[in-house]
Structure 1
Amino acid sequence: MKVSLMFKPFDGQMKYPDMEKRILDWWEENGIFGKLRTQLADKPTWSFFDGPITANNAMGVHHAWGRTYKDIYCRYKAMKGYNQRWQNGFDCQGLWVEVEVEKALGFDSKRDIEEYGLEKFSLACRARVDKYAERIVQQSIRMGQWMNWYHEDGHPASYFTMDDNNIEHIWHFLSVCHEKGWLYKGHRSMPWCWRCGTSLSQHELVDSYKEQIDPSCFFRCQVEDRPNEYFLVWTTTPWTLTANTALAIQPEANYAKVRLDNDTYYLMKALVEKVMPKETELIETVPGKELIGLSFHGPMENLPVQAEVTRRTVAWDMVSEEEGTGIVHIAPGCGAEDFQLSQDIDLDIIVPIDDNGYFTNRMGWLKGKHVRDTAEDIRQDLETRGVLFRWEDYEHRYPFCWRCKTPLVFRLADEWFIASDEIRAPMKRESAKVKWIPEYGGLLMQDWLSNMGDWGISRRRFWGLPLPIYHCEDCDHLNVIGSTVELRERAVNPDMVDALPELHRPWIDEIEITCEKCNKPVNRVSEVGDCWLDAGIVPYSTLNYLPEQKGIEGTLRSIRGPEAEQDKKNQRIDESANQQINTWFPADWISEMREQVRLWFYSQLFMS
């Protein structure tokens, strides 16, 4: 028997884009994805939470790479007969979006935003998110990814972290943290981006270091009442000399008293050959503990703010024997370790720069100058006054802002934190139950959880989660709002809550509440939240799950108006919130790049 098969001639010029377009059109015309969901609607469930892509620009190759992994695995599970939610997600707030809007508007700093107007800026941020969310959806469809991109009425089916629903879930989380005593305002030295005008958290800093060449400064501080006798000190951040209040000595090390020309210097003996010229003469060896408690003249004591400082040498075990001089310049207002030392032994503290990196009014001839522009001015000042010993370039690893790539500074600030010690052990225990592929991902998480500090959640920015914190200045009581229901109940003017177009700045800033302790009106703190709060809550917010507390159950606001309710109506599985969470939580599988161990994976674990 002969079988004749008719094939179209192959011309050797396969046009892959055309072929892909025909397949996409066939899927669309025949409703293939909808048929798949209908076919699997009553099948066993398999849960996947999509790590939200940021809708600030079009999708990049690295995004397409990750989405390919997700699509392959979700399709595989569908082929194995599992029902899924198929929900895409978008990150919408924080510096990711703000910086791109600033670029588009030609802005260089927070001051430009304030002059432009916060309402216009927030609307511009929202518009950019909507624009690029749709762009990413179309790119994803073009690359063949299957997700529930649109509801039947044409509205987006993705979740958006800027929606009021997501914000309310985070409010609830923060109110629980407050009730447990974990939420507090801390006064500490923080990594600070002067361009963005805000602090950054520990987990944003980990991969932000890169090699950079900066001026390093060897300078000398005269010992009080001992002419021509100096401590020799080294720093890689000359601007912080403005905030010097102490010098640190390693008490268990030996120090050398040496003579060069007509002057005498103290430095660690192990570092003499590395630092000093060959003609230096060793006078004697001095135990470090004998140099503790001595007064000295500061490197920039000509500044008005320095007149109030009591300076002394102090003992510190963290003094290195590897580089520098073995005598460490201490500026508690500019360094995390320096600040902690100042708290332990009661040192004076000077904060020399403002939010935007400009020297403050108390900084004398440096007043109004920017920290990035003063290195040469400081060098000349030190040289003129006989304080400079040597100035040279130094290559080292230095942190940069993860979003705008500006070199960071460390600055003392009041920020909001969530204490982590109480939940450290439970988090490590739950993380150990996860199957990590590859296995070293689990080791990375355990290491991170072992060493994480308290979570710094506040950002001094504009387009982001409005922290629901109302600190009463009259009685010092901390009020934390857990829902819009509670906000309305406690608002001085409840009608203003009903009239809110959305829960963002500047609109939310207009709402005053009544302090639950003294009954005085209280304004919300101006800070917004860390963007990783936005993403960490999505397993709960996308399932509309809020436990009964403070009148929360049954409430759902959305900046997309009726679309939130429409979203619930369009869900393939009609379940209550509790059934939803039991069916789809926790996820069976998530997939992201390695850095998300300390970012999205961590924030989900923390907030759960």
Structure 2
Amino acid sequence: MRYERLAGYRTYDQPGYDTHGLPIEVATEKQLGVQKKSDIIEKIGVANFVNKCRELALTNASALTQNFKNMGVFMDWDKPYYTLDNTYISNSWAVVKKAYEMGLLYKGVHVLHWCPRCETTLADYEVSEYKDLEDPSIYVKFKIKGSSNKYLVIWTTTPWTIPANVFVMINKDYEYAEVQVNNEILIIAKDRVKDVMKDAEISDYKIIRTFKGEELLGVEYDHPLRDLVPAQAKADGYHKVVDAGENVTLTDGTGLVHSAPGHGDIDFEIGKKYGMPVLMFVNDQGIYTEDAGKYKGKAVRSVAEEIINDLKSKNALLHAGKIVHRYPVCWRCKSPLILRAIEQWFIGVSKLKQELLSEIDNVNWVPEWGKTRIGNMVREIRDWVISRQRFWGTPLPIWVCQKCNNVIVVGSKEELKKVAISEVPEDLHRPWIDDVKVKCNKCGGEAVRVPDVADVWFDSGVAFFASLGEDWETKWKEIGPVDLVLEGHDQLRGWFFSLLRAGVILLNKAPYKSVLVHGFMLDEQGREMHKSLGNYVEPSQVVTKHGRDVLRLWLLRNTTWEDAKFSWKSLELTKRDLNIIWNVYVFASTYMNLDNFDPTMYSFESIKPYLKPEDKWLLSRYYRMLKDVSESMKDYKVHELANKVTSFITEDISRFYLRLTRKRAWNEANDPDKIAMYYVLYQALKGSLILLSTITPFIAERIYQDFVVDNLDSVSMERIPEIKEEFINKEIEEAFDLAKEIAEAGLNARAKAEIKLRWPIKEAFVFLISEQDRRIIGTITDVLRSMLNSKEVKVEGIEGYKRFSKIKASPNRGSIGPDFKRLSSKVVSYIEENSEAVANDIINKGVHEAVIEGQPIQLKVNHVNIVEETQPGYVSARFSKGVIVINKEISKEEEEEGIIRDIVRRIQFMRKELSLNVNDYIDLSIKAPEERVSTIQKWLNYIKEETRAKQVVIGEVKGNLIQDWEIEDETYTIGVSKA
């Protein structure tokens, strides 16, 4: 949003808070000491509980607002929307009404995850948390009806579902086996026999025969617990084997699957196909009801051992063990979930699958894999269960006539007022909305609201329009669809999908244009952060230690859709970069202020004649950076913005341009050369600062107020500078890239010759392979001379290198044999005889072509070893496009200059030690070896200019800071005082 504002757009920046749902309820329950759901009704009172939930939500939202402000999140914090607002709730009802009008709203039975502690259902996308739990792992024998010793063997980790078993599923195309164990015949899938016998600790067994699963279809069996569970009478005649196709696998179990349609979604669907009854006698608290007979009143997950013992007593237990497996838990209270066939309100979004997939294609997904993931999810879409059996949420706007069961759905509070026969309260929450009665539009009877609240994801899914206030339709026409939504990659199943689903129902289109997916914060080892692991770091800790902008810069430079691995070291490195940026602006501001430079007095036209190659290079890099950032932000690649801007300031300006041009700023006179440098630097720094304000707004604002001459009230009121294509110069950028590569090779050559960079060399020869490279480097030879710190630089073609270096090639015998077989000895001889020609060709062209005994041969790098011998007095170093040769002999003049530069460097260090400002003058005294006194006197003016010394005394040393320095095995004593 900061970037879009700077780009001149009007941004709709209302923040919002998702305030309903079980997380708030669970937290409120803890505050009030609520142990179970019934306590809210019987002890606390629904009205009191709801008011406490509202209070907690608003308190948390207020605290979050302060945190967001503190981190520099720039939004209209005075006007947030809350999903608990009555206008928001009223608006949201429009989606339920539209679904009803489309024939998509219905009440039906499905098998769904259920939390016994919270006493409500969960949708598939809410089942996202798992724990490693230990459960029974049992093999059960179902005796085949009419047989004395033949059994179907099933495996389960949920013994509590055995009392609700109705049928057994197989895959008719699998091979099954009759396995004899003692006097019993066990039926198991052929491919699972070995593993089952191993699990059951049975070593003495025999496969009697194998057969196709089709033979088992219709086989009936006796339920082992029928006499203990009265409800099993409803399944008489249904206990049989049916085909479930690919729903039965051979990865675990026995290849026969125990099926309880009341407690398994696949079981439910297959059971519906074969007309099987649904046995479900578990209540909202996860406790068996009257129909469970012996197990009545017992919690389902606590009755496992009793059921296992009962199976054992009925000779129905083959083996009982334990298993540790990942088991789904409630994302709100962390209790283990169960599956139940229950009646709920649904919206039939499975009928909208094609529309949803079509709209996914119309959205810009960043990164692209976001589209693939949400698309895969939609292809497996199930109907949306929108009802929840709780208190703190958006009440479903569904009324049912008590007389004729007619369903009435209202689309807003205003619609409700028109049909209500009792007063509509200001607060639309439970319990007040529960008292509203509606007149039936069919029979005129009294309709009562269903007691459910909406899925909390319903609240988030309607945010795109419900947040716009009472006149949302008019506003949506003005600002919709939303330009961008962004969240973590988990929200592909959550918020992004909820918005899409609601948008297609209400508008028949996606409510957003672009989706940006971001990663999660992990620790340095890539683990999720948890207080229990001791690796959780509060953002406030980072802010206290390093400041807001360090945290922002570090995070925003991380590739947006990748997880960020937190480390204090990486923050230290980020802080170092931010310090470099700060120092760049301090340097520029200091020197520009010293010279009373006013950028408003000049223009590009006025300084154009005085631009040097390095100025043109910086302008090209600057406008290219602006262009690159503009392209990146079309796809909201914030990390590219952050990296490009910071890299431009730290690398292009600080580490290169300023080092190259610093002397121009030291010139006391206001000559055109310095003005041109100031003007270019100012424009680049001001434009970069505007972009930088999106990433590090606090430091950018501070710098802006101090640095920008023609400033507005805030950097946030600026505009991103216009991209001036005429200044983007590909050739000059290529020339400087080549110069940098040559300079790096020059450093390598100096290292070989043991010559410091501060010591000037007499001459450097640059030999380039390409004529194009020779031409472009010829346009910046002065710059190259400065970078190499050489008195003279000569650029030639690669053939000129022969004057300085003898190149030889010797055969690499390890590779010649396999490549050239019987000719290898001839090839070896050829290389030895034509050593220099072979070496030159391979260096210059990558290959040497020859004809040996009438056969064409191509000698390549791996066929030879190349040795270079540079003539005495010179040192060479290679780079990708050529080679550099430097004269390693230092004349008396170069030696003197090198020593003086070393002295100046020491003085500059002492200035820093004294915390002197860049514009402070000093008094300087130097005691030098006797033979160096004349050298210092010769370079006196240079020393004064470089160190801002008003006077230099040679001999007696005095000052606020006195230090001895070793320079080329000679001792120099230097004294510095502020003048």
Output the TM-score relative to the length of structure 2. Answer: 0.49
CA distance in 2 between partners of 1:209 and 1:420 (Å):
27
Matched residue SS, 1:591: strand
Q: Is 1:215–1:391's contact at 8 Å kept on the other side of the alignment?
A: yes
Query: Are 1:349 and 2:278 counterparts?
Result: yes
167, 189, 202: which one aligns with 2:111 = 189
Q: Secondary structure at the match of 2:442?
A: coil
How far is 1:542 from its partner?
Answer: 2.2
Q: For 1:542 and 1:248, locate their aligned partners in 2 and report how far apart those are by CA, in whole Å.
A: 49
Give the corresponding residue for 2:4. 77
Question: Aligned to 2:362, which of 433, 444, 448?
Answer: 433
Indicate the SS of the match to 2:366. coil
Superposed displacement of residue 109, structure 1: 2.4
Q: How does 1:450-489 map to 2 (within 5 A)?
A: 450-489=379-418
Aligned to 1:131: 59
* Secondary structure class of the residue paired with 2:438: strand
Matched, 1:511 2:436: yes
Asked if the contact 1:292/1:314 (under 8 Å) is kept, the reply is yes
Q: For 2:407 and 2:472, how far apart are their aligned partners in 1?
A: 30
Question: 2:377 corresponds to which residue?
Answer: 448
What amino acid maps onto 1:309 in structure 2?
Answer: A
Partner of 2:692: none
CA displacement 1:469-524 (0-9 Å, x = unmatched): 1123532322111122221221122xx21xx1400111101111111111110111
SS of the residue corresponding to residue 340 of structure 1 reads: helix
Query: Matches of residues 222-241 of structure 1 in structure 2 within 5 Å?
Result: 222-241=143-162
1:32-431 aligned within 5 A: 74-115=1-42, 116-150=44-78, 157-205=79-127, 207-276=128-197, 277-301=202-226, 302-310=228-236, 311-317=239-245, 318-431=247-360
Q: 1:138 to 1:264 in 2, by over 3 A?
A: same
**What letter corresponds to residue 172 of structure 2 in structure 1?**
P
Residue of structure 1 equivalent to 2:694 = none
Q: What secondary structure, in the 3-state scheme, does the structure 1 residue paired with 2:307 have?
A: helix
Q: Is the 8 A contact 2:156 2:258 kept in 1?
A: yes
Residue type matched to 2:182 in 1?
D
Residue number in structure 1 paired with 2:890: none
How far apart are the structure 2 equivalents of 1:579 and 1:327? 59
SS at match of 1:133: helix
- Once the two structures are overlaid, the 10-residue window that deviates more, 278-287 or 170-179, is 278-287
Bigger Cα Rg:
2
Compared CA separation, residues 445 and 127, structure 1 to 2 (3 A): same
RMSD: 1.6
Q: Per-residue CA shift, 1:535-591, capped at 9, x if unaligned? A: 1112112223xxxxxxxxxxx4xxxxxxxxxxxxxxxxxxx7555223321122221
Post-superposition CA distance 1:277-329 (Å, at most 9, x none): 22111222232122221221113212122133222222221221221111110
Residue 595 (str. 1) matches residue 482 (str. 2):
no
Equivalent residues of 1:256, 1:269 under 8 A apart: yes
**Structure 1 residues 464 and 440, CA, compared in 2 at 3 Å: closer, same or farther?**
same
Aligned to 1:527: 452
Q: Shift of residue 343 of structure 1?
A: 0.7
Aligned partner of 1:219: which letter? V
The offset of 1:249, in angstroms, is 2.2
What number of residue pairs does the alignment pair up? 494
Distance 1:590 1:249, change over 3 A: closer
For 1:119 and 1:432, the matched residues in 2 are separated by: 45
Q: Does residue 542 in structure 1 map to residue 467 in structure 2?
A: yes
TM-aligned CA deviation for residue 211 of structure 1: 4.1
Change over 3 Å in CA distance of 1:387–1:86 after alignment to 2: same
Letter in 1 for 2:328: P
Contact kept? 1:244, 1:299, Cα under 8 Å: no
Are the counterparts in 2 of residues 248 and 328 from structure 1 also a CA contact under 8 Å?
yes
1:491 corresponding residue in structure 2? 420
Instruction: Provide the C-alpha distance between the structure 2 equivalents of 1:338 and 1:140, rounded to a whole number of angstroms.
Output: 48
Identity %, equivalent residues = 36
Residues 417, 457 of structure 1: 8 Å contact kept:
yes
Structure 1: gaps spanning 5 or more residues: 1-73, 151-156, 545-555, 557-575
2-structure distance, mates of 1:577, 1:342: 45
Indicate conservation of the 8 Å contact 1:469/1:525, yes or no. Answer: yes
State the secondary structure of the residue aligned to 1:363.
Answer: helix
CA distance in 2, matches of 1:159, 1:538: 9
Per-residue CA deviation, residues 421-447 of structure 1 (Å, 9 max, x unaligned), is: 443222222222222222111111211
Distance in 2, Cα, partners of 1:314 & 1:582:
55
- Partners of 2:370 and 2:359 lie apart in 1 by 14
Q: Deviations over 1:405-434 (max 9, x none)?
A: 222111010111111244322222222222
Distance 1:501 1:300 in 2: 54
Question: For residue 8 of structure 1, what is the aligned residue in structure 2?
Answer: none
Q: Which residue of 2 aligns with 1:586?
A: 481
Q: Aligned letter for 2:160? A: W
How far residue 210 of structure 1 moved from its aligned partner, in angstroms, is 4.7
Tell which has more relative contact order, 1 or 2 (C-alpha 8 A, sep 6+): 1
| Distance in 1 between residues matched to 2:185 and 2:472, nearest whole Å | 75
Offset of 1:101 from its aligned partner?
A: 1.0
Post-superposition CA distance 1:207-236 (Å, at most 9, x none):
334543321111111111211221111111
Displacement of 1:181 in angstroms is 0.4
Structure 1 counterpart of 2:154, one-letter code: V
Which SS does the other structure have where 2:283 is aligned? coil
Question: Structure 2 stretches of 5 or more lacking a match?
Answer: 504-979
Larger helix proportion of the pair: 2
The alignment partner of 1:588 has SS state of: strand
Deviations 1:348-372, CA, capped at 9 Å, x for gaps? 2210210110111111121111122
Deviates more, 1:95-104 or 1:467-476: 467-476
Counterpart Cα distance in 1 of 2:461 and 2:57: 19
TM-score when normalising by structure 1: 0.79
- 2: distance between equivalents of 1:236 and 1:472? 43
Q: Measure, in 2, the Cα distance between the counterparts of 1:577 and 1:251.
A: 56
Q: Secondary structure of 1:176's partner?
A: helix
Judge conservation of contact 1:202–1:456 (CA < 8 Å) in 2.
no
What SS does the corresponding residue of 2:62 show, helix, strand or coil?
helix
Counterpart of 1:118, as a letter, is V
Question: Quick one: distance in 2 between partners of 1:191 and 1:108?
Answer: 21
The whole-number CA distance in structure 2 between the counterparts of 1:255 and 1:514 is 61
Give the whole-Å Cα distance in 2 for the aligned partners of 1:187 and 1:597.
Answer: 27
